[in-house]
Structure 1
């Protein structure tokens, strides 16, 4: 379950699968399942412009910046947004 929750977004039958872990006593009818984190890849950014600051700005433009992966710098920028 942890792997699925941390590895989202997930799809089933080409549809987004939104998951949420209920806390003890939490009413499942009051959980707003309206947002899901999503990876976004930004391609063709000039090498001198690759930075966490750029990724953060692009993520905030999308909606809400969550995380940045700089492991593949030189190929693309990967960010997680909600």
Structure 2
């Protein structure tokens, strides 16, 4: 059970499965399955800004940050920071953000989701693809 809860997200036939460990006093009707943890790669961050604090700050834009995985090499020249974030699955996935790091211009930071289930590139939402997307059908 612990492995399933910590190593998600889990899918069946590429569709997202949301799982939840029931607490002692928790009632089933009060459980919401609209948040799932994903590892998100934060790309194109300036090398000197690849810190845990920056990972937490940017990851916080996506949802509740659970863990930050930064490169452990001495020179910190990894390609990205990994952040485990609890994402709201009712909202479209964010592909990136403009982030101000103190310079004259904001920097576009791209987000890449690991183990991403089926989703629509048209609306950015999970658990349906283009052929089932209302936006695609209307176009």
TM-score bracket, shorter-length normalisation: 0.7 to 0.9
1:11 counterpart SS class: strand
Greater helix percent: which structure? 1
Higher gyration radius (CA):
2
Moved more, 47-56 or 19-28: 19-28
- Structure ranking higher on relative contact order (CA contacts 8 Å, 6+ apart): 1
Inter-partner Cα distance in structure 2 for 1:25 and 1:65:
25
Specify every segment of 5 or more residues in structure 1 that has no aligned partner in the other structure, as ranges: none
Q: What is the number of residues matched between the two proteins?
A: 82
The DSSP-based 3-state class of the residue aligned with 2:83 is: strand
Aligned-residue RMSD, C-alpha: 1.7
Name structure 2 gaps, 5 residues minimum.
87-139
Q: CA deviation at 1:57?
A: 0.8
Report what 2:57 is aligned to: 57
> Residue 65 of structure 1: SS of its match in structure 2?
strand
CA deviations 1:41-76 (Å, max 9, x no partner) are: 012222111111110111111122221011465121
Please report the TM-score for the alignment, with normalisation by the length of structure 1: 0.84
